[in-house]
Amino acid sequence: MPLQIILNLVIAIMWMFLGETYTFVSFLTGYIIGALLLFMLRRFIPDAFYLERVWKMIKLVFLFIKELLISNIDIVKWVYKPNKDYKPGIFALPTDLKSNWEITMLTSLISLTPGTLSVAVSENNDTIYIHAMDIDDNETAIEAIKTTFENAIMEVTR
């Protein structure tokens, strides 16, 4: 558990004890005061302010929801298209992600988005093989994944 989270919890608990009110509202007030103190003193603490990472996680969730809605609309259009000129295929996505957790997160987000499926990961974890239901250009698909999911995951984890 990062030092900032522990400090923030200690400040919140101390606030409760000093006020002699042991309620959730008192704890929440102390937590907010602790977060503000940590934010103001962030240049003296070696790590980045931890609530920034929480905000980046929330942005990743909203990015996934946006991509999920867009891909669902694309799949509905694709299914009801009168002339079915499908171009399914498998392409290799070179990834800059290093840890198993980052790669698992990326492959899960890709597989949960309709129209794409993570098929395999290379032995050295630098390439992910993805099946797409309709793909015109491999480079466009690679760039779309790298600029959305991969960048958002790197913001959260690094």
As a whole number of angstroms, the distance between CA 72 and CA 118 comes to 17
For residue 1, is pLDDT > 70? no
Interval 103-123 mean pLDDT: 94
- In whole angstroms, how large is the CA radius of gyration of the chain? 22
Contact call for residues 28 and 6 (beta carbons, < 8 A): no
pTM of the model: 0.77
Of 45-49, 84-88, 114-118, 130-134, minimum mean pLDDT range = 45-49
